[in-house]
Amino acid sequence: MDFLSLFVVFFLPLCFADNSATVTMTKTHVWSGNFEGHFILPVTHGDLIGWEAIITFNVPVTNIQQYVGTVKRTSSDNKIILLVNRADKGIVKQGNSLDIQIGGRYTGSTQPTATADIVDLSFDSQVVPTVVDADGTKYNYDEVLMKSILFYEAQRSGKLPANNRIPWRGDSALHDHGDNGEDLTGGWYDAGDHIKFGFPMAASTTLLAWGLLEYKDAYENSGQLEHMYDSIRWPLEWMLKCHTGPNELYVQVGDGGQDHGYWGRPEDMTMARPAFKITASRPGSDIAAEYAAAFAVSYLVFKEKDSDFADKMLDHAKQLYDFAVHHKARYSDSVNQAAAYYRSDKYEDELTWGAAWLYRVTNDTKYLNWAEQYYITGPDWGQSWDDKYSGNMILLYNMTGKDIYKNDIEATFNDWMPGGSVPYSPKGMAFRSQWGALRYASNMAFMALLSADAGIHPDEYRRWARTQIGYALGDSGRSFVVGFGTNPPKRPHHRSSSCPNRPSPCSFADQQQPGPNPHTLYGALVGGPNGQDQYADDRKDYVSNEVACDYNAGFQSAVAGLKHLKL
């Protein structure tokens, strides 16, 4: 096959994706069989991060001289040249121009002319539909929900479905397996890395499913309901695979040390990916009960849509809760490989959490007895992947109407409201902790909306929830959601979105490059600013600019609640 045919096969599809421009050679100078010219391309839509040029001449040319690229291939008739940027010449900042100066020799009396099809290798080929806000709210909640669901699709591991909407993602980690060859493919990558951590994945699924259960109309009215079902089914299917015996549950795939020494696409991973589990001899009450909670609330979500799937989850939820309550330990004491990343503080909150959800599903009083037995009273630090106390208060108050739970809800929000023990940034973010600051504020916004639904200070709690989600969406003067709103983050600490289009290699050099990520990680909520509203959109800053499945979970559910209220 000659080079022209190769061009048609491999490059023409890219041109139809609107990531290329055709530029004519200008400033041409010819003398004594020599020529020189320029291909000048203004960069107007974001920074250019990598390019290639297919240059087509009208006459054969030889002895090519240029200074910004590497000649990768020349056609047999010397009329077509494939030029790829040199490593130090790939980035052109928005507002500047790419200038490819080229020279060489030609024969005959016809002077050379040429065009260059310049392909932007940093181009994000994902097509995201325009979403019109029908509610008249300050922010387009329909768009936020749509894009947050896209973020979870970008986190998928395993064999991707035929309707995959993330064009820069492909099949990955297809050999993930357990000790006895059990299929552990699927699930979500945790954050900017490629580990599958079961605890935050299950906790995220529980919050997302709870938001869908309570605010289903928000997903229906935004046109996202079917996408949302697909979104949470992805981790649920993986979690079902992980429960390989009544007292055996896989809780992690991938080694943190090896994984964090790699910067690249999940599709290109070659390191070993060991799997880790809890058993009766090395138990984990917290994570087993969290899986049970995720299955129980998801039973309520799916019981009418897919009763067989729902019944399967309920069976596993009951088994897992029995495992959790009869074999007590913190999972991170049993699985050392999880301790450095997601160490559990205690397991009593998850024992209450799982039992409360099972009581809501089954109305079996043994679950209510367990939920109340393991409940610890007092104000909550804040809902998170490791802290379920706020959610427990709300569930148990709704189930029992007891003042102890209402009092704890009020005490918690007395701490979180302005004037309480939780400090505020100058622009109004409740600042519980630097690492994932917006995650905590968003989680508690969701808890506030649920508490308001239970009749507890509804106007006050809803207004407060609106301020915290509003801060993330732009009230501070900028958005902290990738691909949404005013001046959103463009450099999230996220490996696969930081890599150029395949087959270009990806490495730590891509982590260090200063331009935006080549692919827009739509919908991802970054960790956020410090307590003084200071924030740098810096890929290397994993404290403020990493993304994670648990960051988006309470946030997305709170947005669904605000959409439900049209607030």
Domain residue spans of the chain: 3-120, 141-565
Out of 1.20.1070.10, 3.90.950.10, 1.50.10.10, 1.20.58.340, which CATH number does the structure's domain 141-565 have? 1.50.10.10
**Is residue 537 flagged as an active site residue?**
yes
Quote the pLDDT of residue 100: 96
Quote the pLDDT of residue 17: 36
Query: Distance between CA 40 and CA 82 in Å, rounded?
Result: 17
User: Cα 497 vs. chain centroid, distance in angstroms?
Assistant: 10
**Is residue 493 flagged as an active site residue?**
yes
Of the CA atoms within 13 Å of residue 15, those in its CB half-sphere come to 14
Q: How many residues does the chain have?
A: 567
**Is residue 193 flagged as an active site residue?**
yes
What residue has token string 């041409």? 28
Quote the pLDDT of residue 226: 97
Asked, colleague to colleague, whether 3-120 and 141-565 share their fold, the answer is: no
User: Which of helix, strand or coil describes residue 411?
Assistant: helix
Query: Distance between CA 127 and CA 345 in Å, rounded?
Result: 42
- Of the residues 194, 537, 550, 564, only one is catalytic, namely 537
Quote the pLDDT of residue 140: 97
Query: Distance between CA 300 and CA 310 in Å, rounded?
Result: 8
Quote the pLDDT of residue 10: 34
Quote the pLDDT of residue 121: 64
Neighbours of 315 (CB within 10 A): 14
Quote the pLDDT of residue 84: 83
Neighbours of 165 (CB within 10 A): 17
Neighbours of 226 (CB within 10 A): 11
Neighbours of 512 (CB within 10 A): 11
Structural tokens at position 117: 């099809």
User: With a threshold of 0.85, does the pTM exceed it?
Assistant: no
- Of the residues 135, 193, 372, 387, only one is catalytic, namely 193
Pairing of strands 51-57, 48-49: unpaired
**DSSP secondary structure string for all residues of 332-401:** HHH-HHHHTTS--S-SHHHHHHHHHHHHHHH--HHHHHHHHHS---S--S--SSS--HHHHHHHHHHHH-
- Of the residues 47, 259, 286, 546, only one is catalytic, namely 546
- Of the residues 194, 316, 327, 493, only one is catalytic, namely 493
pLDDT in single tens digits along all 567 residues of the chain: 343 333 333 333 333 234 568 899 999 999 999 999 999 999 886 677 778 889 999 999 999 999 898 888 888 899 999 888 887 787 888 889 999 999 999 999 999 999 998 877 655 667 787 788 879 999 999 999 999 999 999 999 999 999 999 999 999 999 999 999 999 999 999 999 999 999 999 999 999 999 999 999 999 999 999 999 999 999 999 999 999 999 999 999 999 999 999 999 999 999 999 999 999 999 999 999 999 999 999 999 999 999 999 999 999 999 999 999 999 999 999 999 999 999 999 999 999 999 999 999 999 999 999 999 999 999 999 999 999 999 999 999 999 999 999 999 999 999 999 999 999 999 999 999 999 999 999 999 999 999 999 999 999 999 999 999 999 999 999 999 999 999 999 999 999 999 998 878 999 999 999 999 999 999 999 999 999 999 999 999 999 999 999 999 999 999 999 999 999
- For residue 472, give the DSSP letter: I
Q: Which helix (H) or strand (E) holds 479?
A: none
User: Cα 260 vs. chain centroid, distance in angstroms?
Assistant: 17
CATH 2.60.40.290 fits 3-120, yes or no: yes
User: Which of helix, strand or coil describes residue 158?
Assistant: strand
Quote the pLDDT of residue 12: 32
**DSSP secondary structure string for all residues of 286-327:** HHHHHHHHHHHHHHHHHTTT-HHHHHHHHHHHHHHHHHHHHS
